[in-house]
Amino acid sequence: MRYLISVSYDGSKLYGFQRLNHHKTVQGELERVLTKINKTIVYVKGAGRTDRGVHARDQQVHFDLNVDIPPERLVNAMNSMLDDAIYVNKAQIVNDDFHARFDVKKKTYEYIINTGKYDPIINDYEYNYNRKLNISSMKRAAKHLIGAHSYQVFTSGERESYNSIIYKITISKKKDKIILRFTGKSFYRYMVRNLVGTLIMVGEGKIKDSDVAKMVDTKKCKINYTTAPANGLYLIKVDYK
């Protein structure tokens, strides 16, 4: 029987999503617990692989079990055994051909920047940037990133295709916090963090929104942006419809 679960986790306490031999990861913890419940080895597939330090409110994960267990009981059983940095929000039974990654329609990520006074308590959960940014300029630049494009200049590493669609980018401010929210079809390695790093440069006045448009249109990067730290990034939602 195939199950789909929604999982939240504190990325600062884990070495990312992907299973590693000598470090605690989301995938490793889920498989450890599910193998105990199933009494045979269980492998899980996530909607995406978040890096070390990245958090999640709604990571989606599917797996198969030999035992027939009601979703609510499964949630309770898993949460009683999981590391405190990981929590299963809910579970449901899905079709046997469902895939947590390949069936994704869109994902939403959120990035939080603290532009106020340095706060050591939030350092694992927000980017302590601690300087002012021009949000109006950042919003203008963000408009150039929306749509169907090649995002090669914002992606780390090599892959066959860099094409994707960003449906929406919102930038809001709550007191000293700037929250950037990205909703799109696919986000590749470091892509959101690179987009944030580029938009920060716009907010600093180091580059113009027209420079961002050129990066998208020409698929070339002549701007040495900095990848934003992992600690400010959250996987907020995964949609399958």
Active site residues per annotation: 51
Residue 72 burial (C-beta neighbours within 10 Å; 0-12, 13-18, 19+): exposed
Measured distance CA(75)–CA(88) in Å, rounded? 6
HEC-encoded secondary structure of 17-47: CCCCCCCCCHHHHHHHHHHHHHCCCCCCEEC
Q: At what angle do helices 71-81 and 26-38 cross, to 10 degrees?
A: 120
Measured distance CA(98)–CA(103) in Å, rounded? 7
Asked if 223 and 201 count as a contact pair (C-beta separation under 8 A), the reply is: yes
With H, G, I as helix, E, B as strand and everything else as coil, classify residue 212.
Answer: helix
| Amino acid in the structure at residue 109 | Y
Instruction: Please state, in angstroms and as integers, the Cα–Cα distance from residue 132 to each residue in 116, 129, 178, 203, 209, following that order.
Output: 8, 8, 10, 8, 17
Coarse DSSP helix, strand, coil percentages of the chain, rounded to the nearest 5 percent = 30, 30, 40
